Amino acid sequence: MSHFKFEHQKIEVGQTPTGEKHFINVIDLISNEDGPFVYIQSSVHGAELQGNMVIQKLIEYFQANPFKGRLRFVPLANPEATNHKMGQYTYGRFNPQTGHNWNRNYIDIFSPTNQKKTGFELSSFLDTLLKNNASLTYDQLIFEMKKFLLKALEKYAQFDSNYGSPAQNGRLNLELQKLASQADIVLDFHTGPIATRYIYCPEYAFDRALAFGFPHYLVIPHEFAGAMDEACFSPWVYLDDYIKSYHPSAYKSLTAERENLIHTQSFTLEFGSEEFISYIDAIKDRALVLNYLKTQGICEAWSDKSETPEIAWCPLENFKTYYSVGGGLCDYHLRPGDRFDKNDKLYTLYHLNNDYSNSPLPFQTQTVEANESGIVINHSTSSAVTLGAEVYQVMENPRFI
């Protein structure tokens, strides 16, 4: 007998003007043994492809090895974005019709505005739940909260449905958010432009996230800025704040065995550079995910003893972007993962603005140096840059573990 069964859903997420439909595939592996619900998606930014190979390798692993709980995979989660080719390049990152970043379109479902819109008020839900259940357990709280969350998202999706489909911008995101809403762990697979491997990790989950063994950690505050990871932990941050403030004795007993009530652990994992896949690299990338899932009781010991790298981390405020000081051709002096010191040369810009009165050379040059020491996390995919274009993103004054 197999140690799991699997389910497959094909969900329509869009239609083109000529009537073709866009679908996403949702693959659930369900273990015979109870355990956490893990949600994993890739390619919400359509050019960020490596996560799909990692999903392939993870499913291969779980087909052959025991695990606990339910594992939900959504590869190629944004067909419109991945199909949007411009020449050989995949546009991918922004909705071409609205210009919005596909990973800033999720719903802050318990923001005051959205609570008014849906009528699902977290405070009255929690007041009633705690009043009617004097000895509410943590597991009961999680169970009830997940149900409430899904209903709120479904209500949001129906809002104004008399006027047609939910607006095209954000529609896909809402569908993905509903699929992830019941998960205990959410992993959103991305890549940078030309990038190293790194992870966005919320402050509350930093200690646990060290189990991944990523070389670089960006530690983000518990605030909503529209990304999937934030959309998944925000409801629980509201819940934690509210119970702590308004039901302190219940909070004390519910947190007797834990630090807080932020239940869902959600992370954005960045697997290198966009536009490419590597099946070989996916074996190493998979090891990062399995190392973490092992510590969450989902799979058995993972035996790939890849060296644990020195881990560099910084708070999000130290994740700095260097913007081009002019328009021109950019010679990048550092590669993703390179460490640099203050005043090291980051890039040289070649401006086509010579007046030719004294020299036939077309370019004036300008070299930009680092303000502080740091590590290169990513740089732009192109050497043709406009004034103010993103050139580098760096971890400034990193700390090491």
- Hey, which residues between 73 and 132 contact Zn ion (CB under 5 A)? none
Q: Of how many residues is the chain composed?
A: 401
Q: How far is the CB of 367 from Zn ion (least distance, A)?
A: 30
Interface region with Zn ion, contact rule CB under 5 A, candidates 17-25, 42-50, 112-120, 143-151: 42-50
Cα–Cα dist 250/130, whole Å = 8
Cα–Cα dist 9/172, whole Å = 15
Show the binding pattern over residues 194-223: x = contacts Zn ion (CB under 5 A), - = does not. ------------------------------
Cα–Cα dist 104/215, whole Å = 25
Task: Name which of 190 and 333 has its Cβ closer to Zn ion.
Answer: 190
Helices 50-64, 279-295: axis angle to 10 degrees equals: 60
Q: How far is the CB of 112 from Zn ion (least distance, A)?
A: 29
Interface region with Zn ion, contact rule CB under 5 A, candidates 10-18, 39-47, 334-342, 354-362: 39-47
Residue that is written with structure tokens 């869902």 in the block: 264
Task: Name which of 72 and 190 has its Cβ closer to Zn ion.
Answer: 190
Q: How far is the CB of 28 from Zn ion (least distance, A)?
A: 24
Interface region with Zn ion, contact rule CB under 5 A, candidates 50-58, 190-198, 225-233, 242-250: 190-198
Q: How far is the CB of 290 from Zn ion (least distance, A)?
A: 22
Residue-wise burial string across 200-226, b where 16 or more C-beta atoms lie within 10 A, e elsewhere? bbbebbeeebbebbbbbbbbbebebeb
Q: How far is the CB of 75 from Zn ion (least distance, A)?
A: 15
Show the binding pattern over residues 147-186: x = contacts Zn ion (CB under 5 A), - = does not. ----------------------------------------
Tell me the HSE value of 321 on the side-chain side, using a 13 A CA sphere: 7
Please, which contacts does 219-225 make with residues 24 or more away whose CB atoms are closer than 8 Å?
219/313, 219/314, 219/315, 219/316, 220/316, 221/315, 221/316, 222/262, 224/108, 224/111, 225/104
Q: How far is the CB of 68 from Zn ion (least distance, A)?
A: 29
Show the binding pattern over residues 231-270: x = contacts Zn ion (CB under 5 A), - = does not. ----------------------------------------
Task: Name which of 146 and 190 has its Cβ closer to Zn ion.
Answer: 190
Cα–Cα dist 365/330, whole Å = 10
Q: How far is the CB of 123 from Zn ion (least distance, A)?
A: 34
Task: Name which of 277 and 325 has its Cβ closer to Zn ion.
Answer: 277
Q: Does 190 bind Zn ion (CB under 5 A)?
A: yes
Task: Name which of 48 and 108 has its Cβ closer to Zn ion.
Answer: 48
Q: How far is the CB of 99 from Zn ion (least distance, A)?
A: 16
Cα–Cα dist 369/300, whole Å = 47
Instruction: Rounding to the nearest 10 degrees, give the CA dihedral for residues 25, 31, 34, 40.
Output: -30
Residues contacting Zn ion: total by CB under 5 A: 3
Cα–Cα dist 270/272, whole Å = 6
Helix, strand, coil: what percent of the chain each, to 5?
35, 30, 40
Interface region with Zn ion, contact rule CB under 5 A, candidates 28-36, 45-53, 118-126, 173-181: 45-53
Residue that is written with structure tokens 């983000």 in the block: 220
Task: Name which of 316 and 329 has its Cβ closer to Zn ion.
Answer: 316
Interface region with Zn ion, contact rule CB under 5 A, candidates 44-52, 78-86, 309-317, 332-340: 44-52
Q: Which residues contact 133 (CB under 8 A, 6 or more apart)?
A: 140
Residue that is written with structure tokens 């505050």 in the block: 221
Task: Name which of 45 and 146 has its Cβ closer to Zn ion.
Answer: 45
Q: Which residues contact 191 (CB under 8 A, 6 or more apart)?
A: 45, 47, 48, 49, 50, 51, 270, 271, 272, 273, 274
Show the binding pattern over residues 47-66: x = contacts Zn ion (CB under 5 A), - = does not. -x------------------
Question: Are 296 and 185 in contact, with CB atoms under 8 Å apart?
Answer: yes
Task: Name which of 92 and 398 has its Cβ closer to Zn ion.
Answer: 92
Q: Which residues bind Zn ion (CB under 5 A)?
A: 45, 48, 190
